[in-house]
Amino acid sequence: MKNALNITLLSLLFYLPLSLFGQSKSVDRLYQQYKDNDAFFHLDLAGNFLDFAKGWDIDIEEANLSAITESIDRVKLFKLPVNGDQARSDFKKLSQGLRRENYELMMEAEEKDSGVSIYSLGERSMKGLVLLIHSGPDSDYMVIELEGQFDQKALAKVGKGI
């Protein structure tokens, strides 16, 4: 669980500018559902963020992240403005939608009432990753979508380094 959250936090540090529509129709549908809600937090970033990360003097080689940071074209993050049963229902619908779009559940980690699910699109060369994160029954529910070309071996290397 901590490794998945570390990957998530590190990915947010490396990938920051703008854009609006996600690669996944299911992610975009959920985004559109809440985009006009005042409590809806979202962040959409695009571009090559490797140089941005180097400007912060972050040692990305320490965590074997350079291959991943160079692969990311876009990051979309949003936190659902609802929680409880509504958020769980939204996550369930999103999971079903991702499966219909041929995303595969790559990893799932649960700890008490919190958890992370990672879905990937593609096999050896993945075209996208979607992370569904919840931190408790009545707490935050977040969606992170990473677009780009990800090599399965590079992702495994990152997992070993963290």
Instruction: Give residue-wise pLDDT tens across range 98-114.
Output: 999 999 998 888 888 78
Quote the domain boundaries for residue 77.
2-161
Structure tokens belonging to residue 138: 């009545």
pLDDT at 129: 85
Edge-first strand order for the sheet with 103-111 is 41-46, 72-79, 141-151, 125-134, 114-121, 103-111
Counted domains in the chain: 1
What percent of the chain has a predicted confidence (pLDDT) above 70? 62
Instruction: Give residue-wise pLDDT tens across range 112-122.
Output: 878 899 898 87
Task: Please state, in angstroms and rounded to a whole number, the distance separating the CA atoms of residues 42 and 78.
Answer: 4
Q: What is the mean pLDDT of the chain?
A: 75
pLDDT at 44: 83
Task: Please state, in angstroms and rounded to a whole number, the distance separating the CA atoms of residues 71 and 151.
Answer: 9
**pTM exceeds 0.85 for this model:** no
pLDDT at 159: 55
pLDDT at 59: 54
Instruction: Give residue-wise pLDDT tens across range 3-60.
Output: 554 555 445 444 333 333 347 899 999 999 999 999 999 988 776 554 555 555 555 4
pLDDT at 21: 36
Q: Which long-range contacts does 116-122 make (Cβ < 8 Å, 24+ apart)?
A: 116/1, 116/4, 116/5, 116/8, 118/4, 119/95, 120/150, 121/23, 121/24
